[in-house]
């Protein structure tokens, strides 16, 4: 039987300083760029399992012919591009769930650039077999056209290796571009490591050849992790406040959008030199709230749970990518919210409504579906009553000390 963590809150205001993990998104990009640059000093790297895995696989690539990205989508996608352009020969695989997550868009693009990659199982899915790289001549800049509504991780993977190609890379994005802040984060970090980039209108990006230069970089604290503390303050009693060190007002992370969303739910953000202070205020009422998560899909579970708990009906758009995450997050939310008297239903195509009737927390057990964000999105409900979280160790993927931080903040965690 899976382990279960029991959570409860003794009552009274929620106060304190919270130690956030470093940004996994920044860390994993910086590690790839450091590897392509040959060296560089990175500070405040994330202690998340995904980042530790990325470090380990990058160090092992030179001496191994089989690597596993486990359940880490970012690692699978970034490493696929890195291994391809560096001419690696071997097999890249992952967990059973990873072998169900599509990767054809990235593989097709890398093949056009000169990578020899074959599918060992189902067409379009890992595991992948790499057999070297034959690049074009330096006189011919390759041009790729890629859909903008795919995972930004595919696009970021191609951009990062573009500077390492002898002729650079011209990338044209078509249609609606999702998760644009993550692409902007990638471009900012590439520039920090010395890449020369020109943007051609809103959809074209040219990465000049020339590679990267070793650089030092200190990773920001993780706004995705901060979102769970915003949720806690939204559900906490009056007089609650929290300080979250290490967050920047001018951040490259798209999940900073949580600050604006949670203002509607009664959480005020004050930016300080050392981070942010969250203050409990009154949530909005009698107003139709609608949010688009295209640029910040990792916030969707958090916002859905808090809105249901507060009885605030909201409309959620831009959830397409949630179907192919660690689990089908839309289906998982629907099942787990129902346990508390809430619902997530699709009205118009692509528009989901959160509603609740008699929302109550009274010892329910939340299934996590091998998904770290399911565990952390539902944990704030402990402020309203006791509950249990299955497979609590899933948080190691992005926030290994999450349960320790809850305990330090005054939650009963057993």
Encode burial over 45-58: b for 16+ CB neighbours within 10 A, e otherwise.
Answer: bbbbbbbbbbbebb
Distance CA 187, CA 195 (A): 9
Selecting among 71, 255, 295, 298, the annotated active-site residue is 298
Characterise 158 by phi-psi region: left (phi > 0), alpha (psi -120 to 50), beta (else): alpha
Q: Is 55 annotated as a binding residue?
A: no
Q: Is 298 annotated as a binding residue?
A: yes
Distance CA 413, CA 7 (A): 5
Is there a catalytic annotation at residue 298?
Answer: yes
| DSSP per-residue letters across 191-256 | HHTT--EEEETTTEEEE-SS------EEPPBPHHHHHHHHHHHHHSPTT-EEEEET--SS-S-GGG
Q: What is the largest CA-CA distance in the chain?
A: 68
CA distances from 358 to 229, 236, 289 (A): 24, 19, 20
Q: Is 329 annotated as a binding residue?
A: yes
Q: Is 151 annotated as a binding residue?
A: yes
Question: Are 24 and 224 contacting, i.e. CB atoms less than 8 angstroms apart?
Answer: yes
Cα of 349 vs its chain's centroid, Å: 24
Tokens 């295209």 locate to: 294
3-state SS, residue 345: strand
Question: Are 123 and 94 contacting, i.e. CB atoms less than 8 angstroms apart?
Answer: no
Q: Is 101 annotated as a binding residue?
A: yes
Cα of 237 vs its chain's centroid, Å: 29
Count Cβ atoms below 10 Å from residue 371 Cβ, excluding itself.
22
DSSP state of 381: G
Distance CA 80, CA 384 (A): 44
Which among 64, 102, 101, 61 is positioned nearest to 84, based on CA atoms? 61
Q: Is 179 annotated as a binding residue?
A: yes
Numbered residues of the known binding site for phosphoenolpyruvate: 24, 73, 101, 153, 329, 373, 397
Binding-site positions for 3-phosphoshikimate read 24-25, 29, 151-153, 179, 298, 325
Q: Which residues are catalytic?
A: 298
Q: List the binding residues.
A: 24-25, 29, 73, 101, 151-153, 179, 298, 325, 329, 373, 397
């Amino acid at each position: 039987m899976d382990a279960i963590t029991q959570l409860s809150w003794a009552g009274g205001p929620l106060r304190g300083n919270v130690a956030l993990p470093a940004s996994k998104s920044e860390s994993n990009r910086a590690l790839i760029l450091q590897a392509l640059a040959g060296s560089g000093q990175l500070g405040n790297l994330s202690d998340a399992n995904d980042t530790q895995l990325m470090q380990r696989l990058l160090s092992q690539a030179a001496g191994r012919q089989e690597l596993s990205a486990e359940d880490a989508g970012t690692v699978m996608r970034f490493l696929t591009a890195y291994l391809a352009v560096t001419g690696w020969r071997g097999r890249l695989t992952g967990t059973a769930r990873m072998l169900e997550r599509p990767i054809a868009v990235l593989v097709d693009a890398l093949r056009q650039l000169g990578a020899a990659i074959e599918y060992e199982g189902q067409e379009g899915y890992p595991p992948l077999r790499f057999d070297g790289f034959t690049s074009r001549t330096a006189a011919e800049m390759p041009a790729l056209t890629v859909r903008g509504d795919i995972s930004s991780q595919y696009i970021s993977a191609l951009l990062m290796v573009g500077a390492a190609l002898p002729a650079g890379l011209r990338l044209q994005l078509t249609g609606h571009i999702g998760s644009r802040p993550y692409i902007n984060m990638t471009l900012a970090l590439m520039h920090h490591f010395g890449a020369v980039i020109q943007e051609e209108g809103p959809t074209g990006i040219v990465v000049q050849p020339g590679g990267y230069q070793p650089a030092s970089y200190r990773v920001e604290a993780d706004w995705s992790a901060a979102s769970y503390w915003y949720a806690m303050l939204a559900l906490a009693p009056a007089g609650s406040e929290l300080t979250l060190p290490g967050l920047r007002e001018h951040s490259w992370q798209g999940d900073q959008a949580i600050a604006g969303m949670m203002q509607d739910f009664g959480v005020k953000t004050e930016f300080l030199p050392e981070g942010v202070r969250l203050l409990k205020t009154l949530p909005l009422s009698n107003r139709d709230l609608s949010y688009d998560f295209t640029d910040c899909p990792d916030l969707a579970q958090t916002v859905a749970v808090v809105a249901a708990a507060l009885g605030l009906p909201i409309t959620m758009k831009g959830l397409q990518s949630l179907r192919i995450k660690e689990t089908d997050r839309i289906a998982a939310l629907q099942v787990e919210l129902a346990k508390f008297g809430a619902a997530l239903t699709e009205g118009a195509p692509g528009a989901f409504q959160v509603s609740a009737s008699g929302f109550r927390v009274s010892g329910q057990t939340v299934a996590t579906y091998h998904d770290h964000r399911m565990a952390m999105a539902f944990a704030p409900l402990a402020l309203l009553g006791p509950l249990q979280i299955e497979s609590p160790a899933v948080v190691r993927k992005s926030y290994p000390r999450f349960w320790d931080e809850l305990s330090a903040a005054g939650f009963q965690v057993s």
